[in-house]
Chain A
Amino acid sequence: MQTRTVETRRAPVRYLEGGSGPPLVYLHGAMGMTPGDPVLGALASRWHVHAPYLPGYGGTETCGELRDMLDFTLHTADDVEALALETPILVGHSMGGMIAAEMAAIAPHDVSRLALIVPLGLWLDDHPIPDVFSLLPFEMPAYLFHDAEAGAKQMTAGLDMDDPEFLKAFLIGNARQMGMAGKILFPIPERGLAGRLYRIKARTAVVQGQSDRLVPPPYGEAFAAAIPGARLVIVPEAGHMVVVEKPEAVVEAVAGLG
């Protein structure tokens, strides 16, 4: 994966690019993205992948001009336009799925194929989504992974929280990333998307980790029911980080869009 930058009206956007094939845009989740993420490698084996960082992520500055859902949606649409890709497939994970769904709802003729991987953006009173903003790092794996122990090892590999300099850098990174994410996810990750999903015209796949404890399966079902013609793909033995635990299943679901 190569790291590049493209200018947009609101902020310079850093993005990862790699692979070959038809164009695909991947929007990361609130936890961020690294060039080594399994899902990027897997997607790059079939598509020409472009994965923009939201401002505040990937070591970039936050953007004060992005305040609400419409700002995030239009900014990301500007990204995609600036990349000058011919009818890319739009894929979003978690928060990225929420943004992707908004883009497809707001400009239905601009998005032809859409993959929403455990997307945020809906709220079901019977299945409240845990508050990730108050979780301590050691509490997260249980919510994020099907196999929490393996996930925890992956998350903390090479991190030393007892080193004050590392801790400070970690806190700054976290404040940048989750501070930006909070604008559309805090205190409840719902900004009215339910009332707009009917507008989506893209061929859509909703990918749901069967053991996702952050955004459990009723959410996948609700998205699939609200988007005309959407297909629901349930991935067994995968949690919210299905992109880490079962990247090949994500590739298969995206491939199904044609």
Chain B
Amino acid sequence: MKFTWFNLMPWPYLPDDFRQKNRSVWVDIDQRLFDPAKSHEVYNTYMDLLEYADTLGFDGVGVNEHHQNGYGIMPSPNLIAAALARRTKDAAIVVLGNSIALYNPPVRVAEEFAMLDCISGGRLVAGFPVGTSMDTNYCYGQIPALTREKYAEAHDLIIKAWTTRDPFAFNGRYTKLRRVNLWPRPIQQPHPPVHIPGGGSVETYDFCIDNTYSYSYLSFTGYIRAKALMQGYWDRVAERNAPDASPYRAGFAQTICVADTDAEAERLYAPHLHYFYNRCLHVYPGYADAPGYRTIKTIQAGALSQYAPPKGFGELTWKDLIEGGHVIAGSAETVRERMEELIKGLNVGNIFCLMHVGDMPAETCMYSSKLFAEKVMPKLRGALPECEGDERFWCKPLAKRVAAGALPAAAAPRVPEPA
């Protein structure tokens, strides 16, 4: 099992009446709600928490990309990842990911990911999301019905750039380059492991299966609701005659809060969960799914956007969140039990642990993360014996890595040896 500590980086100062007074947390959120001076502390706290997760023994620390979004102040995950590559020691740097259809030319992603892999000593896990419709279409102006074609081309270019040692010409429809010649190039060979975040597109299932990429379902609605979607994925794995159904072929994001007792969990976490689920997820339905973004096949299969359920999001109570499985919260034992249900029920080897929720203060988040790392994680390690020995979907760091701040003790003149 691989546990990645994830922070969406929500803006923690959305007002109480945000939902009443604003149409959307995303795309056209009121910029005045962002206070740059306050963000200085918010960013640094969030980055400290990611570094703290490394010291707790999480297998990875995770970042992602959203634009013009009140619950994600991380339009460039690579900036955060670069800082983490320096300040963390062992954890994988899981960038989930770069929306590759948005980078021009996409070689930029091949380069930046290579830099991250080199700086971190081979600790990069590379994510390539198509991107949500809000990010990709409504914020970054990509034409919905062409987004997937552009994405596919960008993917092919990046992989070719990573794996080709001589300059080559790339005559794509969306990118034309005369000399692709990656410099620097990643440590991990043939390239860093790739995870693809998806939301139920059949095409994305096939893409992962055919390329031996891990399929990540980054939902906020929890493992109970994810059952049908993940089953669809595993059915597809069988249908396409994949050589195995390794749990590492899949990842799942789950909101997790651990306390001493179930009752304490409610006292500590309910307000922050309320903030996230009832304030941060307030997305104007018109932005959820630009026509053409999802393929006809996917709509026919019944996969609708998680951001705009036909009936809208009501106010979710603690009881709703717990019973519905949106959130796994409680004592270490309660959390362990439900995590096992999740892991076995969905057959997932990669867990993206959403340990920071909404406007949770740092010490509360540390408390929950520490309890999870010490009292839950060790007991889940062997939950899926099928994971054993499968290294295809995780990073392979250099055995010997340097640490940040390893300069010589003092400045000194060193005369070059004669040639």
Contact = CB atoms under 8 A, between A and B. Distances in A.
Interface string B243-271: 00000000000000000000000000000
B146 A67 contact: yes
Contacts of A67: 146, 173
A175 B137 contact: no
B310 A186 contact: no
Given A136-B286, A182-B291, A176 B143 contact: no
Contacts of A179: 144-145, 291-293
B42 interface: no
Contact of A171 (B173, B290, B299): B299
B300 A167 contact: no
B137 A176 contact: no
A133 B290 contact: yes
B146 A175 contact: no
Contacts of A127: none
Contact of A187 (B137, B149, B291): B137
Interface in B14-31: 27
B291 A134 contact: no
A60 interface: no
B310 A175 contact: no
A176 B295 CA distance: 9
B291 A136 contact: no
Tell me whether chain A's interface is mostly helix, strand or loop, or mixed.
Answer: helix
A172 B300 CA distance: 7
Contacts of B292: 175, 178-180, 182-183, 186
Name the interface size band of chain A. 20 to 34
B299 A172 contact: yes
Interface string B288-312: 0011111010011010100000100
Contacts of B310: 164, 167
B372 interface: no
A183 B291 CA distance: 11
Interface in B273-291: 284-287, 290-291
B192 to A, nearest CB: 31
B299 A187 contact: no
Interface string A186-210: 1110000000000000000000000
B299 A180 contact: no
A164 to B, nearest CB: 8
Contacts of B296: 62, 172, 175-176
B300 A134 contact: no
Contact of B145 (A62, A134, A139): A62
A182 B299 contact: no
Contacts of A171: 299, 304
A112 interface: no
A192 B292 CA distance: 23
A182 B286 contact: no
- A-B complex: 3 closest residue pairs judged by Cβ atoms: A179-B292, A178-B291, A134-B286
Given A134-B284, A134-B290, A186-B144, 19 more contacts: A64-B149, A67-B146, A135-B286, A167-B310, A168-B300, A172-B299, A172-B300, A177-B291, A180-B145, A180-B292, A182-B143, A182-B144, A182-B291, A182-B292, A183-B146, A186-B141, A187-B137, A187-B138, A187-B143
